[in-house]
Amino acid sequence: MKTTRCDRTPAWSVLQQQFDQTGRPFDLRTAFAADPQRFEAFSLSAPHVFADLSKNLIDAATQATLLELARQSGLEQHRDAMFAGERINNTEQRAVMHWLLRNPAVALTDQARPAIKNLATELQDVHATLDAMLAYATAVRADDSITDVVNIGIGGSDLGPQMAVVALDEFVLPGKRFHFVSNVDGHELAAVLKKIKPESTLFLIASKTFTTIETMTNARSAKAWFEASGGTDVARHFAALSTNVAAANAFGISTTFGFWDWVGGRYSVWSAIGLPLAIAIGADGFRQFLAGAHAMDEHFRVAPLAHNLPVRLGLLDVWYRNFHGFTSRSVAPYHCALKRYPAYLQQLEMESNGKQVDASGAALPFGTSPVLWGEPGTNGQHAYYQMLHQGTDVVPVEFVAVKKPRASLPGHHTLLLANVLAQAQALMQGKMDAGGHKNFPGNRPSSFLLLDELTPASLGALIALQEHRVFVSGSLWGINCFDQWGVELGKVLAKEVEARLGNGDTSGLDGSTAGLLAKLRG
Ligand code: F6P
């Protein structure tokens, strides 16, 4: 597999020229006036997701050059290497195969994909574990004595399942409550323990490594509470979801569901880490979630670049970050059930692409991951949209709207949809005749993702879309999207500081840390 970092391709300098000539004065209002077909030309359909990209600062020439940039960078080869199970996570020497978790078992016979045949053992393991996990989920669902499921995990072992359980609330089995404990702050676990009883609770200890200090601390405290509160039968009330089944057994948990080192933590909701979701929405619902993601995998794998939605979004990300210099993107889901979606995307994008060196370790001469942030609309409108409309920084917004509601309160959904359309319109159109403080500059870019309904399948497709768009920008930037060395230093220092908090030793510390440590002990 041969890839070329995007800044070393001929297309990169063409883009720079295009930006200098047309980028700065590019005006969306003029572009729409000049081209009545702009909406059609810049919108596309992918499985479960329709995307209107026409309100972005891009014309046909730049679009063509960005596609050329992708070709020259070797994006297709890199993508194919991922789908062939090559070890593209080079700093950890691991394959990257979260997509295999969504691959139907039937594809083993797929003549068109020889690479998949080499992964027959892995695919069999995936389906054996999936079947076992779904059988367990079905049994838990049928067990009325279990009323509360507590997931203890952090990062990818929390954000994915939590985001999805909240998003699919309309599909969740009545009579069971789901709790997510991630923070090592004891207030979080204590608040959940107040609400539950040992005999009616199932604890799921979710940790890829089974070493993460927050999760291990919470798991130990949960087990101690369970035993001290009269709980018996740990085997029935605790299950572990991990690649490190031996560590889970050593911890005293015998019910375990495993996965593999080729699944990154932030890409693991499709694995055993998705068990809370499987209990919540059932085996069929979880299979639909996987099927929606698989449909998006296939779209990303085979659709021509120009019609490939993850590619188009990833290219816009590069265009905005490296040519326009935009440093953030606001995520605006107009569905309250998607309230954890921005937090989920923060880990996905910023842990994957928040890197300052390329995969070979060479310093990058350009910006990488944008800051992602956001809240569900319309709440954000009454908080920070002021800045989006009139602030000095341009922040591209990515709206998500859902056509058909499941809640039936009259009038609400039309009003919600009116708001999302109006915000996208206002950002673009602006208003310069009101005078002074009341003027809006407009020409502020946005993308609009539209789902027909929020279902397990459409959520799966939406999340897989986001995974692949992160891959696209990361691939062009030459980054290894699948490691996260940047989280290590803080973990090491926390251990050392914990000891110092106990013994008061401040020797060798910087003045600020020493001062704060003394205050905390005082
Ligand atoms: O510290 C970051 C991280 O490694 C994430 O990548 C991961 O999702 C999270 O910690 C939790 O890790 P684990 O699932 O191994 O407990």
Span 436-477, pLDDT tens digits: 999 999 999 999 999 999 999 999 999 999 999 999 999 999
Query: Is 491 part of the annotated catalytic residue set?
Result: yes
Closest CA to 205 of 232, 182, 188: 182
Tokens of 453: 């309904």
Tokens of 517: 């440590």
What's the pTM value of the predicted model, to 2 decimals? 0.97
Predicted confidence (pLDDT) per residue in 48-92, tens digit: 999 999 999 999 999 999 999 999 999 999 999 999 999 999 999
Q: What is the mean pLDDT of the chain?
A: 96
- pLDDT at res. 25: 78
Where are the extended beta strands (E) located within 71-129? Answer: none
Q: Which three-class secondary structure string do you get for 379-413? A: HHHHCCHHHHHHCCCCCCEEEEEECCCCCCCCCHH
119-123, 290-294, 306-310, 380-384: range with lowest mean pLDDT: 119-123
Predicted confidence (pLDDT) per residue in 489-511, tens digit: 999 999 999 999 999 999 999 99
- pLDDT at res. 118: 86
- pLDDT at res. 113: 76
458 to each of 47, 168, 445, how far by Cα in Å?
8, 10, 25
Q: How far is the CA of 265 from the centre of ligand 1 (A)?
A: 6
Intervals of CATH 3.40.50.10490 along the chain = 6-96+289-485, 102-279
What sign does the dihedral 306-311-314-318 (CA atoms) show?
negative
Pocket test for ligand 1, best of 98, 163, 208 (most atoms within 8 A of CB): 208
Q: Which residues pair with 449 in a beta bridge?
A: 51, 400
Q: Residue holding tokens 């691939």? A: 475
- pLDDT at res. 111: 62
Q: Which residues pair with 372 in a beta bridge?
A: 329
Q: Listing from the earlier edge strand, what are the strands of the sheet with 43-46? A: 43-46, 49-52, 446-451, 397-402, 328-334, 371-373
Does residue 108 carry a pLDDT above 60? no
Q: Measure CA 322 to chain center.
A: 22
Q: Is 341:331 a contact under the CB 8 Å cutoff?
A: yes
- pLDDT at res. 117: 77
Q: Which residues contact 379 (CB under 8 A, 6 or more apart)?
A: none
Closest CA to 397 of 347, 458, 449, 339: 449
Q: How far is the CA of 266 from the centre of ligand 1 (A)?
A: 8
Q: How far is the CA of 482 from the centre of ligand 1 (A)?
A: 12
Pocket test for ligand 1, best of 242, 257, 484 (most atoms within 8 A of CB): 484
Q: Measure CA 358 to chain center.
A: 21
Amino acid sitting at position 180: F
Does residue 112 carry a pLDDT above 80? no
- pLDDT at res. 23: 57
Checking DSSP bridges between strand 328-334 and strand 397-402, what pairing results, if any?
Answer: parallel
Closest CA to 323 of 315, 333, 334: 315
Whether the ω angle into residue 378 lies within 30 degrees of 0, i.e. cis, is yes
Phi, psi of 368 (to 5 degrees): -120, -125
Q: Is 206:222 a contact under the CB 8 Å cutoff?
A: no
Pocket test for ligand 1, best of 180, 207, 212 (most atoms within 8 A of CB): 212
Predicted confidence (pLDDT) per residue in 405-440, tens digit: 988 899 999 999 999 999 999 999 999 998 999 999
Does residue 353 carry a pLDDT above 60? yes
Fill in the DSSP letter of residue 364.
Answer: P
CATH class, 6-96+289-485 region? alpha beta
Q: Is 192:181 a contact under the CB 8 Å cutoff?
A: yes
User: Does 160 sit in the ligand 1 pocket, CB within 6 Å?
Assistant: no
23-27, 58-62, 237-241, 429-433: range with lowest mean pLDDT: 23-27
- pLDDT at res. 201: 98
User: Does 155 sit in the ligand 1 pocket, CB within 6 Å?
Assistant: yes
Does residue 276 carry a pLDDT above 60? yes
Predicted confidence (pLDDT) per residue in 322-338, tens digit: 999 999 999 999 999 99
User: Does 215 sit in the ligand 1 pocket, CB within 6 Å?
Assistant: yes
Amino acid sitting at position 273: I
The Cα 309–Cα 46 span in angstroms is 6
Burial of 256: CB neighbours in 10 Å, binned 0-12, 13-18, 19+: buried
Tokens of 74: 């070797």
Query: Is 382 part of the annotated catalytic residue set?
Result: yes
How many CB atoms are closer than 10 A to CB 494? Answer: 12
Q: How far is the CA of 371 from the centre of ligand 1 (A)?
A: 20
Q: Is 69:6 a contact under the CB 8 Å cutoff?
A: yes
How many CB atoms are closer than 10 A to CB 312? Answer: 28
> Which ligand 1 atom minimizes the distance to the CA of 212?
16
User: Does 487 sit in the ligand 1 pocket, CB within 6 Å?
Assistant: yes
Q: Which is the catalytic residue, given 382, 403, 404, 412?
A: 382
Residue nearest to atom 9 of ligand 1 (CA): 155
The domain defined by 102-279 carries CATH number 3.40.50.10490? yes
Tokens of 24: 């700065």
Q: Is 507:513 a contact under the CB 8 Å cutoff?
A: no
The Cα 15–Cα 501 span in angstroms is 53
Q: How far is the CA of 467 from the centre of ligand 1 (A)?
A: 17
The Cα 223–Cα 229 span in angstroms is 10
How many CB atoms are closer than 10 A to CB 4? Answer: 17
Closest CA to 209 of 164, 159, 273: 273
User: Does 266 sit in the ligand 1 pocket, CB within 6 Å?
Assistant: yes
> Which ligand 1 atom minimizes the distance to the CA of 265?
8
> Which ligand 1 atom minimizes the distance to the CA of 487?
1
Longest CA–CA separation in the chain, Å: 73
> Which ligand 1 atom minimizes the distance to the CA of 242?
14
Does residue 384 carry a pLDDT above 70? yes
Residue nearest to atom 1 of ligand 1 (CA): 487
Q: Is 450:49 a contact under the CB 8 Å cutoff?
A: yes
Query: Is 339 part of the annotated catalytic residue set?
Result: no
> Which ligand 1 atom minimizes the distance to the CA of 214?
16
